[in-house]
Amino acid sequence: MLFHESIFIFAFLPIVVPLYLLCRLKFDPIISIIILGVSSIIFYGYWDVKYVPLLFVSIIFNYFIGQNLIKKLDKNNFILFSAVFINLLLLIFYKYSSMIIINFNAIFDFNFTLNYPDLPLGISFFTFLQIAYIVDCSKGKVTKTSFSSYFLFVSFFPHLIAGPLVHHKDLIPQFSLKYKKIEENISIGLIIFGIGLFKKLVLSEYVSVSSDNMFNGVDNGIMPSFVDAWIGVLSFTLLIYFDFSAYSDMAIGLSKMLGIRLPENFNSPYKSKNIIEFWRRWHITLSQFLKNYLYIPLGGNRHGDLKKYLNILIVMTLAGLWHGAGWTFVLWGSIHGFLLLINHYWQKKNIFTINHFISFWLTFISIMIAWVPFRSSSIESTINVYKGMFGQFGFILPEHYNQIFPHSFNEILLKLGVEFAYLNGFGGKNQIIILILLLLFVMKLPNTQEIFQKYKPTLNTNTKNHPTLLRWEPNLQNAIILGMIFSYLLILVIQGKSGEFIYFQF
């Protein structure tokens, strides 16, 4: 079940939210916890019911492991290491078995086959979520938790499929808090959900066309020209931004309606002036998880610069692998690892200060280039896109430009190696104008949390002040505008044009 599907918006949401709120206001908190837990399982099972038992077993296993660790029965960390190993083994089997066997066959010239299992929805998220929980149990950071609260903590439908990676201490206590500000929570949550819906159905849908045209064309042997390559990569750069931002907003909005606040997971990452800042803004909870449960245990920065840089490379390479079972994801993670390494070294040695304008665009272009293997289906396709970006497949302008430009100017372009032909991804000046406007949207406007900072939609809402015009205030004018936009979005929902979220595949 997707957040932007008709069944979710017109059936699941109108039933679950009032039922949960009624139980939370009128009955013992355990009733509302059970209602929300059952609803979350229905939400998960709608996608593929055969993986509901897997989710159940994973939750039960880790809960009882955690309770044993809380009781200090694990003197030598044997239970902890075994439980972490079993969790990772489960993740490896479902997510990486095909990659392992394919590479094993290629290296040793074998022909071993296996009926590869389908990837259970959200397995990367609920596995990491629970590893963090049992590790904290072993360190004495967790008090005894009821099974129902733990079950809801893992299965809570707004974050179950694609995050954020919520920490237990942030979410579990909220399940038993008294519900306050009902009207405000529902109205603000609904508006934030609507903003995410707009990003998903309108903004990401627009840039997905030119992105898919270029990358799918490369997969089919259509090599991109310089213009096509850069338009396609820029389109995907905006696509993954709007897609992930949309999911984050919708998850935050849904939780807010239920009186629960999730941590901020997406904070205008394309406003970053270096790669370190980018990773503090992009998938914030994953960055925190990798830092606390991988980078620091590896030694962090405690054993000199060389070990620190090696740890960064290891963590980011594994972060890439976490995103997908393919060498393209490993390459993407490694590129970011090297960029972070360069950034840390540059800052430590204080080589020289780069102008903010230059550092901003240098960072953004680096991020764009790094997205290529993330989107590409193979290393070969990645290389071909890079070749296109550097002009190895020519500089081609649309055929009709040959009629627009003066004949003398066309002759000059032809002498410079510019050709006129059909382009796979470039749609003309209107497309360029819209892409520029979308760039301004992500680089200049405040994000959702900043607009609604007064209402604290997340646990760590940005407190930076913005002009009154860009902060939400309830009034008749805003209500009319929202009503018109929501009506349009509901029509799009009924049409069911948009696909799943990119992060669903992880």
pLDDT tens per residue across span 300-331:
888 888 999 999 999 999 999 999 888 999 99
Q: What is the pLDDT of residue 397?
A: 77
Compute the distance between CA of residue 274 and CA of residue 340 in angstroms, rounded to an integer.
9
Compute the distance between CA of residue 339 and CA of residue 362 in angstroms, rounded to an integer.
11
Q: What is the pLDDT of residue 498?
A: 67
**319: in domain:** yes
Q: Is there a single domain that holds both residue 248 and residue 312?
A: no
Mean pLDDT by 10 residues, the chain (506 residues): 88 93 87 93 90 94 92 80 94 89 84 78 91 92 89 93 87 86 90 93 90 92 90 95 93 94 93 95 92 91 89 94 91 96 88 87 96 95 95 81 76 79 69 90 90 87 59 79 85 77 69
- Angle at Cα 110 formed by Cα 109 and Cα 116, nearest 5°? 125
> Domain boundary at 373, 393, 413, which?
393
Q: Is there a single domain that holds both residue 110 and residue 153?
A: yes
Q: Is there a single domain that holds both residue 138 and residue 199?
A: no
CB 270 within 8 A of CB 360: no
Q: Is there a single domain that holds both residue 191 and residue 283?
A: no
Number of domains in the chain: 3
Q: Which residue do the tokens 């497949």 mark?
A: 393
Count the Cβ atoms, other than its own, within 10 Å of residue 402: 15
- Chain centroid offset of residue 349 CA: 33
Q: What is the pLDDT of residue 57?
A: 95
**400: in domain:** no
Compute the distance between CA of residue 62 and CA of residue 68 in angstroms, rounded to an integer.
10
**408: in domain:** no
**363: in domain:** yes
What residue numbers bound the domain in which 197 lies? 183-262+426-506
Q: Is there a single domain that holds both residue 382 and residue 308?
A: yes
Q: Is there a single domain that holds both residue 204 and residue 150?
A: no
Q: Is there a single domain that holds both residue 51 and residue 145?
A: yes
Q: What is the pLDDT of residue 413?
A: 78
Q: Is there a single domain that holds both residue 237 and residue 311?
A: no
Count the Cβ atoms, other than its own, within 10 Å of residue 488: 13
Q: What is the pLDDT of residue 120?
A: 87
Q: What is the pLDDT of residue 114?
A: 72
> Domain boundary at 135, 159, 179, which?
179
Q: Is there a single domain that holds both residue 173 and residue 205?
A: no
Q: What is the pLDDT of residue 497?
A: 65
> Domain boundary at 393, 410, 434, which?
393
CB 502 within 8 A of CB 247: no
Task: Give the active site residues.
Answer: 323
Q: Is there a single domain that holds both residue 196 and residue 170?
A: no
**361: in domain:** yes
Q: What is the pLDDT of residue 462?
A: 58
Q: Is there a single domain that holds both residue 86 and residue 229?
A: no
Q: Which of 293, 299, 335 is nearest to 317 (CA)?
A: 335
- For residue 201, the number of C-alpha atoms closer than 13 Å in the C-beta half-sphere is 25
Could you read off the pLDDT of 257-271 as tens digits, one per residue?
Answer: 999 999 999 999 999
**76: in domain:** yes
**243: in domain:** yes
Q: What is the pLDDT of residue 427?
A: 65
Q: How far is CA 334 from CA 290, 398, 409, 470, in A?
A: 15, 36, 44, 38
Q: Is there a single domain that holds both residue 171 and residue 60?
A: yes
